[in-house]
Structure 1
Amino acid sequence: MNRTPLRRLGAAVLATAAALSLTGCLYAQIPESAPAAPSPTAAPSDDTTTDEPTAGTTLTFAEGAELSPDAYIEWGDGLIVDDGWKIVSPDDGNGNWTYGTVDGTCTARFWQGLISDVPIVSGDDAVSSDAILAVLLRSTTAEISPHAQTGEFSYMSGGAGGVENRWVAGEDGDRSWIMAARAFTKTGVGLSLIVDCTGADPSAVLDEVNDANAIVVTP
């Protein structure tokens, strides 16, 4: 993605809370982490920076504390070249953009930005990731944490896995969704992904999105 200025999470809350709710049935059938693809490939990017990506194959919650405070963390964009997806809404300048499947069954809503308006716990990326979910759902960390599970985003290249996240899921009739988030308390940045489907399995679609997109870290 282009390096647009990172914005506070608050700009993403209204639309998210209006679209999703925990009042539906939370379910636990979804795998705790997306399976890694056997041959991960790098997600393309139109970023023109010459910085070299940070080395490493994992970025666990604990490893987040080892990042440089100046590290730049962003979503790579692999769906832009995927014929199965189309842009539903481009980056709005607040770090929100959405892709949709061409058959109209699912959307994947991305966010990246600052977490200065999130009640983070310094040095604890796991609890702070729950706090991002809570803010997006207009809830509290205490209410969200019992429902949240630990999964993974891809790291540096699509399908590679390695970036621990926290996720919750819900369903209402034939509509179901998964919301996953990761806070990086050392840098004050967070990312989230919401897969929302009608008549389709969001866990399978989340796997597909993870195969195409990765979290990219540069010094």
Structure 2
Amino acid sequence: MTGPYVPSPLTRLAFVAAAVASAVPLSGCMATGIPDAEPSVSAPETITPVPTDEPVEVVGDVPTTLSFEDGAALPSATRIEWGDGLMADDDWEIVAPDDGHGGWTYGRVDGTCTARFWQGYAADALAQGDDRASSDDLLAAILQTDAASVTAAAADGAFSYQVGGNTDVAHRQVTGDQDGRTWVIAARSFTNSGAGVHLIVDCAGPDASSVMTEVIDSNPIIAH
């Protein structure tokens, strides 16, 4: 991480990728596709993942948990980013490095799954003052569909918070499968800071949900 975090006006999240050519069904009867690339945002600086073996200085009074309701207590200047626990995991390797827009992808070394991370700012694209609704908005933007369809199909889930192995950051997620391939897309937005994160786990087999759990356990959301 380089330089101090300087809050600046947040800009509209602009997605540059089209959905995959063939529509694929998600749970809850919503049909859409996983996007081919990461969103592009304008931000004051590129946010890089934090190695989980490095201490993180917490600035201000961030909540001890981040339920959707706890998001209202998050100071507006809080920095939200992924902790990176896969960089030292021999079962995973970088298959797409940081693209400069907050996105990067790890892949299992056996080629069975990918884990695509994104973090950035999305204030203008999201419902204000309601982290649950704005997380559905973020999922809708990722999937290029409407928020009502996402809300009907999505379920609550959780990311880890500050350290791995807990379920202290609420998120919204959708799952899908086609021809033996499975995936989970999970997202959380933080309307007080305008920040958002998402994670897409895509597997050539039935294991996306269990792999998502593994990835979440080792890659916490860090607020500071």
Structure 1 residues 202 and 53, CA, compared in 2 at 3 Å: closer, same or farther?
A: farther
Work out which of the residue numbers 20, 25, 28 in structure 2 matches 1:18: 20
Deviation sequence 1:137-182 (CA, Å, 0-9, x none)? 1101011110001000000001122000000011111111000000
Of all paired residues, the percent bearing the same amino acid is 46
Query: Which sections of structure 1, spanning at least 5 residues, go unmatched?
Result: 29-41
Deviation sequence 1:88-141 (CA, Å, 0-9, x none)? 1111000000000111000000000111342x2211000100000100111010
Query: What residue number does 1:199 align with?
Result: 205
Matches within 5 A, 1:46-85: 50-51=57-58, 56-85=63-92
CA distance in 2, matches of 1:172, 1:124: 33
CA distance in 2, matches of 1:19, 1:59: 36
Query: What residue number does 2:188 align with?
Result: 182
Size of the aligned set, in residue pairs, is: 198
SS in 2 for 1:167: strand
Deviation at 1:27, TM superposition (A): 6.7
Query: What residue number does 2:119 align with?
Result: 112
* Aligned residues of 2:118 and 2:199 also touching (Cα < 8 A): yes
Q: Larger RCO: Structure 1 or Structure 2 (Cα < 8 Å, ≥ 6 residues apart)?
A: 1
Structure 1 residues 25 and 94, CA, compared in 2 at 3 Å: closer, same or farther?
A: closer
SS in 2 for 1:65: helix
Deviation at 1:210, TM superposition (A): 1.2
Query: What residue number does 2:138 align with?
Result: 132
CA distance in 1, matches of 2:72, 2:85: 27
SS in 2 for 1:142: helix
CA distance in 2, matches of 1:92, 1:60: 29
Deviation sequence 1:168-203 (CA, Å, 0-9, x none)? 011111111000000100000000000000024111
Q: How large is the RMSD of aligned CA atoms in angstroms? A: 2.7
Query: What residue number does 2:52 align with?
Result: 43
Query: What residue number does 1:33 align with?
Result: none
CA distance in 2, matches of 1:91, 1:7: 20
Work out which of the residue numbers 94, 118, 121 in structure 1 matches 2:101: 94
The amino acid that maps onto 2:199 is L
Structure 1 residues 217 and 25, CA, compared in 2 at 3 Å: closer, same or farther?
A: closer
Deviation at 1:58, TM superposition (A): 1.5
* Aligned residues of 1:171 and 1:177 also touching (Cα < 8 A): yes
CA distance in 1, matches of 2:58, 2:218: 22
Query: What residue number does 1:37 align with?
Result: none
CA distance in 1, matches of 2:85, 2:60: 17
CA distance in 2, matches of 1:18, 1:7: 26
1:154 matched to 2:160? The reply is yes
What TM-score comes out, normalization by structure 1 length? 0.81
Query: Which sections of structure 2, spanning at least 5 residues, go unmatched?
Result: 30-50
